[in-house]
Amino acid sequence: MTGVAILGAGAFGTALSITLGALGPVTLWARDHDQAARLRTDRRNDRHLPGAELPETVTITAEIADIDADTVLLAVPTQLLDAFLSAHGAAIDGRRLVLCCKGVHLASGLRPSALVARFCPSSPLAVLTGPSFAADIARGLPTALTLATTDDGADLQARLSTPTLRLYLSNDVIGAELGGALKNVVALAAGITIGAGLADSARAAVVTRGFAEMTRFAVAAGARAETLAGLSGLGDLILTCTSEKSRNFTAGLALGRGMGLPDGITIEGVATARAVSVGAQAAGVEMPLTDMVAAVVDGRITVDDAAAALMARPLKKET
């Protein structure tokens, strides 16, 4: 059994299949037969990634039984991962699994790697994360990501790197996962700030204090602070807090403008804010910005009241 398969034909899964397909055969799994049939016929995924074409090296299937690869990239949204693994975990257990989803599972409060370990205990795990938009990867634009592994990942790093996709190796899976998850919460906060007309100075404060919260929470969970200062933390934070190509930032813009959350789009930062706010309180980790984002998305507080509450917090040293 050799080769690479990607499970999940959303924007990121499709983009990875395009860039990795330039190197050799790749199998792309779609969640249902209709989607797989459309992708096979059109060689495009205009719903998730308009304009990008799938190379002929990409084989598309809706059957897990067709996945004959020793390396499997999981590009299933975090909030759907539990159900996916419950249905298909046994079929992929023992393969090398690379998590490409970001967030914290709301129902369980677990990171994706912890969910995978429940259903696929024999699989070596890795996390692929960092500052990237699927459209940029699909177009072959230069992108650098973190590949965090639970074993010696040099061979995996070589296998998944391409001329336009540069991977930096790490052994801090917790830090890589939490960096990718928590930055979505801060991106929501940054979008809310701009959408509410609070301007760039306030956004800079939100991003900086948000990064402090990210680091504090991740270190308490067993991560290394330097991981958060890398691509999977700070790098991803910069990207998602400054671009309207970020779904979390644009969702925050809508909230700040009083428009509510957009329908039909996965906004991982929403569920992550809720899960992390609860988890941080249980662990005794102070995360005022995350708490306010959770309260705003749940409608428990207005944007104006959230901003006022944050500004009224007791004066303290910068940490």
Give the neighbor-by-neighbor strand order of the sheet with 71-74: 58-61, 26-29, 4-7, 71-74, 96-99, 125-129, 143-149, 165-170
Q: How far apart are CA 200 and CA 223, in angstroms?
A: 30
Type of residue numbered 249: F
DSSP codes of every residue in 239-280: HHTT-TT-HHHHHHHHHHTT--PPSSS--HHHHHHHHHHHHH
Nearest Cα residue to 90 out of 112, 123, 113, 63 = 123
| Sequence-ordered list of residues with C-beta below 8 angstroms from that of 146, at least 6 positions apart, any chain | 127, 128, 129, 130, 167, 168, 170, 176, 179, 227, 230, 231, 232
Residues that are catalytic: 183
**Tally: H helices and E strands in the chain:** 14, 10
